[in-house]
C-alpha cells in the first residue's frame, strides 16, 4: 500500500512584482518547480500561497527559482524579517516617488523645447541632456524587467515601455549626432527625446499610485497579533505567581488576570468573577459576566474583577489565532484583479512589434530608392504612436480622481481594486451592532411609579455599580446630585442593594426584584412589556415595598440606517443583516430598517461563511462592519467597508472606510464606483480608438492612395494629445454628484 507523502501549504511574501502579468510570470515559474503541487500568486498583497512536498523542494529552492526572473521570495517568517520586509516596501515606495518627481522636473522643460522651441541653438543637445537621466536612470527598471521577461519568453507593460522609449531615444541620438544622414536624402532629422521621457514619467506616476494603494496590506494582521499580551502571570505551587512570555504558556497552566489586563489565551474560569469586554470577538457592546466554569478568550479585556482560569487552548489554537489565520487566508485567497491594460499588453506588445517590423519590410521591398529610410521612419512612428501612455493613464487617472472625490465625501478608499469592483456589487452584508445601530447602550426612557424623589438614590447606587449598563444610567442622569449611601452591596450577575435614610433599595433584573417580593405597579409592568417587545433591556429600581421605576436601555438604530437600506435596495442591491444578538432583537431591528434578509446568533466564522456562500451563488458581495469579529468576513468579501468609529483592525482589513460611520455613505461609495468605472471604460475606448486609427496611419496605409505619410513628430504630438484627453476626461468626475 502506497502512503501519500505529506505536503506543506504556506504563504510567502514576494518582492519585485510591478504588474498583474508579473504575478502570472512568478506563478508559472513557481508552478514549474519540481515538488510544487499548487501555487497561487496574489498581486494585490504581493504573496504566494504554495503547496509543496518538503522532501522534494525547499523554500530556498522556491526563492532561487523566483530570483532567476528578477523577483524574490521571503522565506524567513520571524518578526524581525516581517519588519525588515515592511521597511523594504517603504524604501521602494520612497525610491519610486523620488524617480517620478525627478522625471517630472526633467520632462517639463524637455516638452517645452521639443514642442515650441525646436529652433533654439543646440536644442537637440539640450533635449538629449534632459532626456538621458529620465530614460537611462529613472526608467532603468523598465529595461531591466523587460530583459528578464524576454529571456523567459514573456512580455508585459515593461516590454512595451522599454521597446518604444529605447527606439525613440536611440533614433533621436543618431539623428542628433548624424543629421546629414537624413539631409543628404532630402529628409529632416527629427528627434523624439520628449516622447521617450514623457512616457517614462507617466508610467512611473501610474506605478506610484498603485504602490501607494497597496502600502498598508500587512498592518491589520499586526494589530490582530497586538491584541495578545507579551507576558502572562502564571500561578505556580498554589500561591506563587510567575510572569512568563506568552509563547511559554502551556495547556492546563493556571493563569491570573487582573483588572484592565487582556486575556492571554483561551481557558475556563476556576475562581473569581468579572465582566469581560468581548466586543472584539463577538461584536456585541455589553461586557459579559464570567464566573466559575465560564469560558474566556484570548484578546478580550478583563474589566474590574480578578479571575483565575485554566488554559485550554494556547498558541495557534486560540480563537484569536484562528481569526488571524482566517483573515490571512481570506486575504491571500483573493484572485488578483487582472488590470485590463496588463492583459492587453501581453497581446499588444508582440502585435505592435510585428506591425512595426512588417512596416519596415514592406517599405524596403516596395518603397523604391528611399524605401529603407522611409521604412525606418515609419517603423519608429509606429512604435512612438503605439506607446502605451494613454492606455497606462486610462485607469490610474480615473482612480486618482475617484479616490479624491471619495475623500471629499467622507469615503476613504484604500485601493483601486475595490473602487473598480464596487460597481458590480449586487448583495451587501451588514453587521448590526455599530453598523446599523449606534453600538453603545443608552437609556431610552425611565418611568417612575409616583415621582422621582428617589432619583438621587438610584443615581448613587448606579455610580457604585460595576455593571456595564449602570454606566448608561449614570450618563443619562448626570444632572442629579449623588447622596451618601449608608450601605452598598453588589450581587454579581443579579443587581445591587443599598440603604439610605434607614430604607433598603434594589436595582437589577426582574428576577432579582421578584426575589425581593415587592409590589409591581401595573403601569410599570405594561410599559416594561412594551419595551421588551422593542428589543430594549429593562432595569428595575425598587424599595422594600414596591417597584419605584423601570429603565429602558437599548442600542439605538442610527438615524440614517433606514434611508441607507432603502437607497441600496433602489440601486438593485440586496441587503442582508447578520448579528450575534438574539432572534427577537434581530427581527425587530430588521423590521424597523426595512431589511427582509437577516440571521441572528451568528459567530465570526459564520459571517465569513455566509459571504462565501453568496459569492458561490454568483453574487458580488460587499460587507460593512466595525468590529474585530467582522474582520474575517470583511477580508472574504469582494468589497469590504469599515465604519469609521469601529476598531482599527476592521478599518485596516477593509478596503473602504466611512469616516462618519454614516450608513448612507455606502450607496455613495457604490455610485462613485459606477461613475469611476464608466470613466475608465471611456478612457480605454478612446485609447483603443487612438491606437486603431494611429497605428495604420503611422505605418503609411494612406501613402499609396494620396502620398500621405505620418511624420513621427506629429505621432509624438498625437501620443501626448491622447494622454491629455484621457486626463481631461477623468477630471470630469470631480464635478459629478454622488
Average pLDDT score over residue span 4-31: 75
Q: Which residues are known catalytic residues? A: 431
Average pLDDT score over residue span 648-673: 79
In percent, how much of the chain has pLDDT > 90?
21
280 pLDDT above the threshold of 70: no
Q: Which residues of 450-486 are buried (b: 16+ CB within 10 A; e: fewer)?
A: eeeebbebbbbbbbebbbbbbebbbebbeebeebebe
Q: CB–CB of 664/560 below 8 Å?
A: yes
Strand partners, 56: none
116 pLDDT above the threshold of 90: no
42 band by pLDDT with thresholds 50, 70 and 90: low
Closest CA to 207 of 340, 31, 418, 17: 17
What does the DSSP 8-state code read for residue 435?
A: I
Q: CB–CB of 390/690 below 8 Å?
A: yes
| DSSP-assigned states of every residue in 518-530 | -B--HHHHHHHHH
Q: CB–CB of 202/389 below 8 Å?
A: yes
713 pLDDT above the threshold of 60: no
Provide the pLDDT for residue 323: 60
Tell me how many helices (H) and strands (E) the chain has. 27, 26
E strands along 258-338, which residues? 266-271, 274-277, 288-290, 295-296, 301-302, 307-313
For 731, the 3-state DSSP assignment is helix
Q: CB–CB of 639/622 below 8 Å?
A: yes
223 band by pLDDT with thresholds 50, 70 and 90: low
Distances (CA, A) of 600 to 436, 577, 588, 590: 14, 8, 11, 11
d(CA 541, CA 553) in angstroms, rounded, equals 13
d(CA 97, CA 91) in angstroms, rounded, equals 10
436 Rama sector, left if φ>0, alpha if ψ -120 to 50, beta otherwise:
alpha
Q: CB–CB of 24/13 below 8 Å?
A: no
User: Which residues are within 8 A (CB) of 87 and not within 5 positions of it... i.e. 6 or more apart?
Assistant: none
Closest CA to 271 of 292, 296, 257: 292
> What confidence tens digit (pLDDT) does each residue in 233-255 have?
898 877 788 888 887 888 999 99
Alpha helices per DSSP H over 477-560: 510-515, 522-533
Least confident of 256-270, 334-348, 408-422, 597-611: 334-348
- Which residue did the predictor score with more confidence, 489 or 555? 489
The residue written with cell numbers 505567581 in the block is 241
Strand partners, 448: 549
217 band by pLDDT with thresholds 50, 70 and 90: very low
Cα 242 to chain centroid distance, Å, stands at: 41
Residue 190 dihedral angles phi and psi, to the nearest 5° = -75, 155
> What confidence tens digit (pLDDT) does each residue in 58-90 have?
888 898 888 887 788 887 766 566 667 777 777
Average pLDDT score over residue span 343-352: 68
> What confidence tens digit (pLDDT) does each residue in 573-605 have?
999 999 876 677 788 889 999 999 999 878 777
Closest CA to 642 of 618, 626, 664, 622: 626
Q: CB–CB of 46/69 below 8 Å?
A: no
Distances (CA, A) of 376 to 161, 351, 361, 363, 699: 19, 18, 9, 8, 10
For 554, the 3-state DSSP assignment is strand
In percent, how much of the chain has pLDDT > 70?
82
343 band by pLDDT with thresholds 50, 70 and 90: low
d(CA 233, CA 256) in angstroms, rounded, equals 6
Host H or E run for residue 257 = strand 254-257
361 pLDDT above the threshold of 80: yes
Strands 240-245 and 231-236: antiparallel
Q: Give the gyration radius of the chain's Cα atoms.
A: 34
Say if residue 673 is exposed, middle or buried (CB neighbours under 10 Å; 0-12, 13-18, 19+): buried
d(CA 41, CA 49) in angstroms, rounded, equals 6
d(CA 309, CA 232) in angstroms, rounded, equals 12
Q: What is the mean pLDDT of the chain?
A: 80
> Could you tell me the three cell numbers for 139?
526608467
d(CA 18, CA 701) in angstroms, rounded, equals 36
Q: CB–CB of 177/399 below 8 Å?
A: no
For 463, the 3-state DSSP assignment is helix
Residue 159 dihedral angles phi and psi, to the nearest 5° = -60, -45
d(CA 475, CA 19) in angstroms, rounded, equals 54
Please give the order of strands across the beta sheet that includes 307-313.
Answer: 240-245, 231-236, 254-257, 307-313, 266-271, 295-296
What does the DSSP 8-state code read for residue 437?
A: B
Residue 512 dihedral angles phi and psi, to the nearest 5° = -65, -40
Q: Which residues of 610-637 are buried (b: 16+ CB within 10 A; e: fewer)?
A: bbbebeeeebbbbbbbbbbbbbbbbbbb
Q: How many CB atoms lie within 10 A of CB 114?
A: 29
d(CA 402, CA 687) in angstroms, rounded, equals 19
468 pLDDT above the threshold of 50: yes
Strands 656-658 and 639-643: parallel
d(CA 599, CA 118) in angstroms, rounded, equals 71
Amino acid at each position: 500500500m502506497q502512503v501519500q507523502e505529506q505536503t506543506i501549504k504556506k504563504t510567502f511574501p514576494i518582492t519585485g512584482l510591478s504588474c498583474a502579468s508579473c504575478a502570472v510570470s512568478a506563478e508559472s515559474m513557481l508552478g514549474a518547480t519540481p515538488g510544487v503541487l499548487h501555487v497561487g500568486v496574489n498581486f494585490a498583497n504581493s504573496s504566494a500561497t504554495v503547496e509543496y512536498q518538503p522532501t522534494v523542494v525547499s523554500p530556498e529552492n522556491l526563492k532561487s527559482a523566483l530570483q532567476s526572473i528578477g523577483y524574490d521570495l521571503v522565506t524567513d517568517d520571524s518578526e524581525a524579517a516581517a519588519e525588515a520586509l515592511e521597511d523594504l516596501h517603504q524604501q521602494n515606495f520612497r525610491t519610486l516617488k523620488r524617480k517620478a518627481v525627478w522625471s517630472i522636473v526633467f520632462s517639463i522643460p524637455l516638452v517645452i523645447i521639443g514642442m515650441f522651441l525646436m529652433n533654439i541653438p543646440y536644442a537637440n543637445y539640450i533635449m538629449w541632456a534632459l532626456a538621458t537621466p529620465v530614460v537611462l536612470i529613472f526608467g532603468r527598471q523598465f529595461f531591466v524587467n523587460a530583459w528578464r521577461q524576454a529571456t523567459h519568453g514573456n512580455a508585459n507593460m515593461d516590454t512595451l515601455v522599454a521597446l518604444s522609449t529605447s527606439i525613440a531615444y536611440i533614433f533621436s541620438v543618431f539623428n542628433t549626432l548624424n543629421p546629414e544622414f537624413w539631409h543628404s536624402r532630402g529628409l529632416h532629422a527629427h528627434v523624439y527625446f520628449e516622447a521617450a521621457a514623457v512616457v517614462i514619467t507617466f508610467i512611473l506616476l501610474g506605478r506610484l499610485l498603485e504602490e501607494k494603494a497597496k502600502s498598508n496590506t500587512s498592518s491589520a494582521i499586526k494589530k490582530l497579533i497586538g491584541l495578545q499580551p507579551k507576558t502572562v502571570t502564571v500561578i505556580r505551587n498554589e500561591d506563587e505567581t510567575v510572569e512568563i512570555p506568552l509563547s511559554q504558556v502551556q495547556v492546563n497552566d493556571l493563569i491570573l488576570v487582573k483588572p484592565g489586563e487582556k486575556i492571554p489565551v483561551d481557558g475556563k474560569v476556576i475562581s473569581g468573577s468579572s465582566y469581560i469586554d468581548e466586543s472584539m470577538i463577538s461584536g456585541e457592546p455589553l461586557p459579559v459576566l464570567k464566573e466559575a466554569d465560564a469560558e474566556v478568550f484570548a484578546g478580550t479585556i478583563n474589566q474590574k474583577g480578578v479571575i483565575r482560569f485554566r488554559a485550554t487552548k494556547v498558541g495557534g489554537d486560540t480563537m484569536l489565532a484562528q481569526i488571524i489565520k482566517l483573515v490571512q487566508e481570506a486575504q491571500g485567497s483573493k484572485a488578483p484583479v487582472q488590470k485590463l491594460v496588463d492583459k492587453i499588453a501581453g497581446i499588444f506588445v508582440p502585435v505592435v512589434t510585428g506591425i512595426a517590423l512588417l512596416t519596415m519590410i514592406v517599405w524596403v521591398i516596395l518603397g523604391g530608392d528611399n524605401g529603407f529610410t522611409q521604412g525606418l521612419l515609419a517603423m519608429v512612428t509606429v512604435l512612438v504612436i503605439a506607446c502605451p501612455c494613454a492606455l497606462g493613464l486610462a485607469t490610474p487617472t480615473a482612480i486618482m480622481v475617484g479616490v479624491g472625490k471619495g475623500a471629499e465625501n467622507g469615503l476613504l478608499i484604500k485601493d483601486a481594486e475595490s473602487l473598480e469592483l464596487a460597481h458590480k456589487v449586487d448583495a451587501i452584508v451588514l453587521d448590526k451592532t455599530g453598523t446599523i445601530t449606534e453600538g453603545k447602550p443608552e437609556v431610552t426612557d425611565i418611568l417612575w411609579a409616583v415621582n422621582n424623589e428617589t432619583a438621587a438614590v438610584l443615581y448613587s447606587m448606579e455610580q457604585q455599580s460595576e455593571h456595564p449598563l449602570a454606566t448608561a444610567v449614570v450618563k443619562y442622569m448626570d444632572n442629579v446630585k449623588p447622596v451618601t449611601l449608608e450601605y452598598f452591596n453588589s450581587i454579581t450577575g443579579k443587581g445591587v442593594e443599598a440603604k439610605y435614610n434607614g430604607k433598603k433599595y434594589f436595582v437589577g433584573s426582574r428576577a432579582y426584584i421578584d426575589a425581593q417580593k415587592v409590589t409591581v405597579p401595573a403601569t410599570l409592568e405594561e410599559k416594561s412589556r412594551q419595551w421588551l417587545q422593542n428589543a430594549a433591556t429593562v432595569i428595575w429600581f425598587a424599595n422594600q415595598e414596591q417597584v419605584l421605576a423601570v429603565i429602558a436601555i437599548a442600542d439605538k438604530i442610527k438615524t440614517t440606517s433606514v434611508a441607507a437600506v432603502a437607497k441600496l435596495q433602489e440601486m438593485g442591491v440586496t441587503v442582508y443583516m447578520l448579528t450575534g444578538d438574539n432572534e427577537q432583537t434581530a427581527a425587530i431591528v430588521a423590521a424597523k430598517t426595512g431589511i427582509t434578509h437577516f440571521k441572528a446568533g451568528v459567530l465570526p466564522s459564520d459571517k465569513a461563511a455566509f459571504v462565501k456562500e453568496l459569492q458561490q451563488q454568483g453574487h458580488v458581495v460587499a460587507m460593512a462592519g466595525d468590529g474585530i469579529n467582522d474582520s474575517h468576513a470583511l477580508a472574504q468579501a469582494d468589497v469590504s467597508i469599515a465604519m469609521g468609529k469601529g476598531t482599527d483592525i476592521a478599518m485596516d482589513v477593509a478596503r473602504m472606510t466611512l469616516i462618519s460611520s454614516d450608513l448612507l455613505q455606502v450607496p455613495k461609495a457604490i455610485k462613485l464606483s459606477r461613475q469611476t468605472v464608466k470613466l475608465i471604460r471611456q478612457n480605454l475606448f478612446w485609447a483603443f480608438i487612438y491606437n486603431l486609427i494611429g497605428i495604420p496611419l503611422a505605418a503609411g496605409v494612406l501613402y499609396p492612395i494620396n502620398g500621405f505619410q505620418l511624420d513621427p513628430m506629429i505621432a509624438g504630438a498625437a501620443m501626448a494629445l491622447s494622454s491629455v484627453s484621457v486626463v481631461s476626461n477623468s477630471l470630469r468626475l470631480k464635478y459629478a454628484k454622488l
